Structures are given as C-alpha cells and as structure tokens.
Amino acid sequence: MRNAYSSLSPKRAWGRGIAALVFVFLWTVFFSVAHAQDEDSPPGANLDVALITFGPGTEVWERFGHNAIMIRDRTTGQSRLYNFGIFDFDQENFFLNFARGRMMYRAAVDDAAEELPIYREEGRWIVEQDLNLEAAQRAKLAAFLEWNVRPENSEYRYDYFTANCSTRVRDALDMAVDGAIKQQTISPSRGFTYRMDALRLMRPETLLTIGMDAGLGPFADRRLTYWDESFVPMELMRHMRQIHRVDASTGKLVPLVSRETRLADARVAEPLEYPPDWFWRALLAGVVIGAALFGLTRMCSRGWARTVFASFAIITAIILSLGGLVLLALWFLTDHVAAWRNENILLFDPLCLLLLPAWFRWFRADWRPSRFAANLGVAIVLLCGLALFIKVFQTQPQDNRFWIALLLPIHAGFAASLFLRRGLSTK
C-alpha cells in the first residue's frame, strides 16, 4: 500500500505535523482542566434527582399507583430508577406470609430507559417532578438509595398503609432534606382515612372493595395528616408541590419541586376522588330483605316459601359465620394491624353456625323452632345493636355504617321469623 504522505512536499508534511502536535496539546489541556473541575466539584454536583409517579393500573396491586426516585448522572448520561415495594409471587411461602401479615418486600434499581416504556404500555400516566436539591443532598440521597438496593439490605417488612412503596420513597426524600417534608405535612389534613383512600382506589373491583371494607378495623378510620396520606403515591406527588426547603447559600425558602413534566397520559380510568357511599342503598336492601323474610315466614305453609327462606338462611348463616371466623383469625392470629379489634365481628357473628340446624329443618312443613333457636336469634340481633350502640362512647368510631345498615335488619328479620313460626300452625 502506498504511503499517504509520499506525494506531499516536505513543507506541507511539516505543517501537518505541527498541526497534529497543537491538536494533541490542546486536547491534553482541555482534558486536564475538565478533570480538575470534576475534582473540585462537590459530591452530587453531577446528579439530577426526580420523583417519578405512575398512575393506577388495571391489576389489583396496581390500583394504588406507584412511585420511584430517579437519579440521573449527567457525566455518564445514565438514569437509575429506585423502586420500593417489589414483590415476587414465587417467593417462598408468599401467600402464607401475606395472609399472616408478614410480607417481605424489597427495593430494587433499574435503568429508567427500560422501565418507563413498560408503564406507558400499561396505559398508566407518568409524571416527573424534578427536585431542587443541594449537591450534598443529592449525594446523600444517592448513597442512601444505593445502600438500600444492596442484596443484604434490600428486603424490608411491608405494610400496605405504613411501609409501602410510597412511604419508603417519602422517607428517603425526607431524609435528604433533613426532615423538611415531614415538618410541613405532619399537621395538615383533609379529613381522609386509610379506609376512605383504600375504598376509592379499589372501587373498580367491587367485590374486593366490599371485602376490604369488612376486614378493616378501627385503625383504618383515624384521620390522616398529609404525611400519613402520602402512602398513596398520587397524594405524595400532590403534597410535594407545596413543600419548600431552605437554600443553603441564601437562607431563603425555595420550592422543592423545580419543574413538573407529564411524561405519559393515561388510558386507564382515573380513580374516584371520594369513596363510594353505599349507606342508604345498604339500609334499603337490609330492610327489604328483612321484611321479605318475615313475609315468607307468614307463607311457610307453602313449600316454595319454605324452600326460598331456608335456602337463603343457610347460605347467609354460612357466609356470616365463616366471615366472622376470618375476622377473629385476622385479629388474633395475624400481624394485620389494620384488621385488629374489628367491630364487624358483632355483625358477622360465628353464632350463626348454631342456627344452621334450625334452617335445615325449616324445609319441613310440620316443624316449629325451639325456644333455644328463637332466643339465639334475639341474642344475635342484640349483638348487632351493640355494634351501633357503642358508637356513642367512642372518640374515633369504626366506620362500619354500611354493614350495620345491611345486616341489622336482616338479622332482625331472621329473629322475628323464628318467633313467628313458633306461634304458627303449619299443619
């Protein structure tokens, strides 16, 4: 191969050599200056921090939304997304631990460029809130998050209200700004409770919403501050807009969120702003069912009336008594704090099991209830009434109005039917 410089004159070759030396010299000077600047820059100066919030998804565990902390390194161009609340169905004894309230979730870090498209494909909205942090605060937060995602530190005890994905993100950001977030959110409140937020967010899953309402005890009905309500990622995002921190150089208050950008729009319906209020519908249903039970008893000489009544009574007794046993198990055998001291045990009464023999005999035209069965029906009604009466003496009553309105008239209908049939001749 011919040498490329063989056709150049000595003068032109000499000029190109000088130019090459100048280029190398300038490049060396530039690199040295840039390197010196990097060494002089405080830790965290090359980092950008953002709170990323994802709207609700279609899966049950996505109804509450999600959030994460994104740290972008301007030197490498890499964006790392730190997530909490990661779980795995294949984890050993996952469902047993979930039932016992002893869930172990973990923290993880992923490439934001790979993670964000997944949420877009799921039809969930994405909002990025760039955080106005000092370089030292960014470095402190990055180091804390890196410590959390190490294998030996990544797992933590999960609680759906007090230690979920959003509360861990909130606590990490609060640590970075020396408690400024908690200080500004620990007092304000809009009067919401854990129950109210849970029911409005789970509303698309009607049966699960009703079951959750039955299983939550008085812990779920305490009024939440903004700090507490930040267990919902969307609420944390909303509260962050009002947070300020003290600027280290000027001593003045500056907004914590410097810019908010919507990265993706939702294709999933937005959750309700307020929880559903089914009290009056429950009361109407309870009164109608209770009256219908009494009416069927008056017609118990007819076979179809006895069949309808007995079938409904058997199914209801099984559901209510098993439900009561589940509530007792949640209270005494699990770590689900939100299910402890659940007053619905007075409505989902395990004593209903003792009425099953009476309901099975109801099919017979010549059968009359025993005095024990009739008195037991009254006892069950009185316990239901106790669930309503004790509200007078509670400073923070459990909100189980729905279940009282629905089940008290039904239990009253059963008790009245037992006494009515004792006095009727069905021969």
pLDDT in tens, 222-249: 999 999 999 999 999 999 999 999 998 8
pLDDT surpasses 60 at 427: no
How many of the other CB atoms lie within 10 Å of CB of 115?
A: 19
Q: What is the mean pLDDT of residues 269-290?
A: 95
Instruction: Classify residue 72 as exposed, middle or buried by CB count within 10 Å of its CB (0-12, 13-18, 19+).
Output: middle
The pLDDT of residue 38 is 47
Q: Over 50: is that where the pLDDT of 363 sits?
A: yes
**Which of left, alpha, beta for 101 (phi over 0: left; psi -120 to 50: alpha)?**
left
The pLDDT of residue 29:
42
Mean pLDDT of 134-143: 97
| Residue 43: partners with Cβ closer than 8 Å, 6 or more residues away | 135, 136, 139
The amino acid that residue 204 corresponds to is P
User: What does the pLDDT look like over 3-38, one tens digit per residue?
Assistant: 443 444 444 444 555 544 544 444 444 444 344 444
Mean pLDDT confidence for 181-198? 96
Q: Distance (Å, rounded) from C-alpha 427 to C-alpha 423?
A: 12
Task: Give me the chain's average pLDDT, please.
Answer: 90
Please give the Cα distance from 313 to 410 (Å, whole number).
10
Q: What is the tens place of the pLDDT at every residue in 364-408?
A: 999 999 999 999 999 999 999 999 999 888 888 999 999 999 999
Residue 306 has pLDDT above 90, yes or no: yes
How far CA 160 is from CA of 27, 129, 227, 338, 347, in Å, comes to: 56, 24, 15, 9, 25
Give 204's pLDDT tier (boundaries 50, 70, 90): confident
Whether 65 shows a pLDDT value over 90: the answer reads: yes
Are residues 229 and 201 in contact, defined by beta-carbon separation less than 8 angstroms?
no
Buried b (16+ CB within 10 A) or exposed e, 359-392: beebeeeeeebeeebbebbbebbebbeebbeeee
State the pLDDT confidence band at 2, using cuts at 50, 70 and 90: very low
Higher per-residue pLDDT: 250 or 236: 236
- What is the architecture, at CATH level 2, of domain 47-188+225-264? Alpha-Beta Complex (3.90)
Q: Report the C-alpha gap between 291 and 412 in whole angstroms.
A: 9
Q: Average of pLDDT values for 249-264?
A: 95
Q: Give the mean pLDDT of 332-355.
A: 96
Band of pLDDT at residue 409, cut at 50, 70 and 90: very high
Output the pLDDT for position 373.
96
Domain ranges of the chain: 1-40, 47-188+225-264, 279-423
Digit-coded pLDDT (tens) for 99-120: 999 999 999 999 999 999 999 9
Residue 180 pLDDT > 80 = yes
**Cα–Cα distance list, 243 to 56, 163, 323, 336 (Å):** 24, 22, 44, 32
> If DSSP states are collapsed to H, E and C, what string results for the chain?
CCCCCCCCCHHHHHHHHHHHHHHHHHHHHHHHHHHHHHHHCCCCCCEEEEEEEECCCCCHHHCCCEEEEEEEECCCCCEEEEEEEECCCCCCCHHHHHHHCCCEEEEEEEEHHHHHHHHHHCCCCEEEEEECCCHHHHHHHHHHHHHHCCCCCCEEECECCCECHHHHHHHHHHHHCCCHHHHHHCCCCCCCCHHHHHHHHHCCCHHHHHHHHHHCCHHHHCCCCHHHHCCCHHHHHHHHCCCEEECCCCCCEEECEEEEEEEECCCCCCCCCCCCCCHHHHHHHHHHHHHHHHHHHHCCCCHHHHHHHHHHHHHHHHHHHHHHHHHHHHHHHCCCHHHCCCHHHHCCCHHHHHHHHHHHHCCCCCCCCCHHHHHHHHHHHHHHHHHHHHHHHCCCCCCCHHHHHHHHHHHHHHHHHHHHHHHCCCC
